[in-house]
Amino acid sequence: MSLNRKNWKLSTQINHPEEVSLKEGNRPLIAPVVNSAKFVISEKHSLNEQFIYGRVGNPTLRQLELTLGEIQKKDECIVVSSGIGAITGTILGLLKSGDHMITFRELYKPSRVFIRDILPNYNISSTFLSLNNLSDLEKNIIQDKTRLIYFESPSNPNLQIADIPFLISIARKHNLIIVMDGTFGGLHQHTEFDLDIIIHSLTKFANGHGDVIAGSIAGKKDIVGKIKEMVMYLGAHLDPQATYLIQRGLKTYMLRYERQTETAQKMAEYLQKQPGVTKVYYPGLEIDLNYKTTKSHMKSFGSVISFEIDSKMFSTSEEFCQRLKLIQVAVSLGSTETIICPTLAFFGLDLSEVERKEMGINSHSFRLSIGIEDFDDLKNDLHQAFRVQY
């Protein structure tokens, strides 16, 4: 500004603070958080080369989008205000009234509810299949109507693994867009698959500290472009401060993930041997039905374990949870602290009795998300909860 600041009155000075500019090359090693909702438009550049308004684009968000695109080996990535915002924005961005999509009942509950109960209000229909029975898939594709396959792998809460190469082959054959929610596996997994779009709840492993809600959409440039337009109109952009916390959380992503996975493997093996445990779902156990597929799909087995306790020993899941001292009852996953939640109450109440039974969700089933604490302390906590009965 060339004006003489000294002549301004106080209220003007306060509202136009002096600019602090950095010498060329003297950049901050950690990128600053750009909170500004608006950017001064420069005549030196065309409008589409510049940041204009925070809802449309912001350097702090762009930094995270570039980082996430690179980790996932995708051409383009956008970040939005939640994982569920990423899912709803993707579907609304890609489908229109009259379209049909195929999905699977093994879904995160809010995704299932959105597709099953809300999309019909906009004349978008869906067919729900099971990840365990893909032989029905082609039969359910409706000519000139079905546009999209949407699935989760590993699935919430019982870690079903989808046959991803098969799903992709069917999508290509019928010219459908294929979208996967890869949240449970983390960002560095499934990067080699030719998925059109991969969605993550960044609330989980990416942020890793349980203090931000956010989501990402990565994939092919033209498809992400369509979704970007929709999420912009939905107003689902992420706040720069929240964005920064994720960028910062990501620095320890691999360290956390390796530790969580290592502890999860030991914990699954421990649970497998417990007399009070009747079933363990963890794809890293060789006896797990998904072990082989997971090994071919994923670099490691992740940090979520599901298990069932003996109903003769504990009358309710709450009774078991109340005995735990260190492990707290809470939802979410991928954070530094270990948490547990009963699966029926949180993920199964919208399902029929038959669906619950087939999916292994009941009054004695749990989802355990492993953090980065010491394995022995976690094991001892579970052990004392089980031991009361022996």
Ligand X SMILES: *Cc1c(COP(=O)(O)O)cnc(C)c1O
Q: Determine how many CB atoms are found less than 10 A away from the CB of residue 317.
A: 23
Half-sphere exposure of 283 (CA within 13 A, CB side): 28
Is 106 among the residues that bind ligand X (CB under 6 A)?
Answer: no
Contact mark string toward ligand X, 161..190, x via CB under 6 A: --------------------x-xx------
- Taking every pair of Cα atoms in the chain, the longest distance, rounded to a whole number of angstroms, is 83
Between 146 and 203, CB nearer to ligand X: 203
Between 34 and 198, CB nearer to ligand X: 198
Which listed range, 57-65, 82-90, 120-128, 348-356, lies at the site for ligand X (CB under 6 A)?
A: 82-90
Distances (CA, A) of 72 to 58, 86, 110, 155, 188: 21, 16, 24, 19, 6
Quick one: which of 54, 83, 93, 208 contacts ligand X (CB under 6 A)?
83
Q: DSSP assignment, residue 131?
A: T
Beta-bridge partner residues of 80 = 215
Q: Report, in Å, the least distance between residue 213 CB and ligand X.
A: 5
Residue with tokens 């156990």: 285
Quick one: which of 34, 69, 99, 108 contacts ligand X (CB under 6 A)?
108
Which listed range, 54-62, 81-89, 237-245, 307-315, lies at the site for ligand X (CB under 6 A)?
A: 81-89
Type of residue at 311:
S
Which listed range, 33-41, 78-86, 89-97, 253-261, lies at the site for ligand X (CB under 6 A)?
A: 78-86
How far is the C-alpha of 202 from the C-alpha of 68, rounded, in Å? 10
Q: Report, in Å, the least distance between residue 344 CB and ligand X.
A: 17
Q: Where are the beta strands (DSSP E) in the chain?
A: 76-80, 100-104, 125-129, 146-152, 177-181, 197-201, 215-219, 277-281, 304-309, 328-329, 339-342, 365-369
Quick one: which of 152, 163, 196, 288 contacts ligand X (CB under 6 A)?
152
Between 90 and 363, CB nearer to ligand X: 90
Rounded to 10°, the helix 59-71/240-250 angle is: 30
Site for ligand X in 201-260 (CB under 6 A): 201, 203-204, 213, 215
Residues in contact with ligand X by the rule CB under 6 A: 82-84, 108, 111, 152, 156, 181, 183-184, 201, 203-204, 213, 215
